[in-house]
Amino acid sequence: MKQLKLFWMVVKRTNMDKLVYAFIFNLLIVAAIIMAVEPEINTYGDGLWYTFVACTTIGFGDFAAVTAIGRILTVYMAVHEIIMVAVIPGVVVSYYLEVIHRRENEKLMAFLDTLEHLPELSKDELAQISEQVKEFVKK
């Protein structure tokens, strides 16, 4: 649950939540339209099920779009889902890498600040810096 909260925080921070909300809104609207135009789909629940199956490209085959509008909406939702699957993970990974890069820069700046005050450091602090340099050289 904690990981899901962290994921959603990143999605919100990168403004991708608007894309998620738009997708859910489209899913609900397209399900209603599909229910209205497709002869085999008689309930809103069946429309939602069909739209979900079309988005996930599972295609169970229990329903199939036979009208032109139904087929166009099916393609629209499938493409929308593909974009969602491509964009959101890319943005989240990019954000995560940026955070890591920022932390590394902060560590480097702190280390350089310490080196600027080298004459003022005690023997213990100098030994600690020496160990840090040795660890850096090993990497």
Phi, psi of 58 (to 5 degrees): -75, -50
pLDDT value of position 68:
93
How far is the C-alpha of 48 from the C-alpha of 42, rounded, in Å? 11
Name the average pLDDT for the chain.
87
Q: Is the pLDDT of residue 32 over 90?
A: yes
Answer for the pair 92, 13: CB distance below 8 angstroms, yes or no: no
> Which carries the bigger pLDDT value, residue 62 or residue 65?
65
- pLDDT at residue 120 greater than cutoff 90: no
In terms of phi and psi (left: phi > 0; alpha: psi -120 to 50; beta: otherwise), the region of 59 is left
Number of domains in the chain: 1
Rounded (5°) CA angle 120-116-113 = 110
Percent of the chain at pLDDT above 70? 99
Query: Model's pTM, two decimal places?
Result: 0.67
Q: How far is CA 43 from the centre of its chain?
A: 32
Q: Is the pLDDT of residue 78 over 70?
A: yes
pLDDT at 84 over 70: yes
Q: Is the pLDDT of residue 93 over 80?
A: yes
- Residue 96 belongs to a domain with what CATH number? 1.10.287.70
What domain range is 49 assigned to? 2-138
Residue 111 has pLDDT above 90, yes or no: no
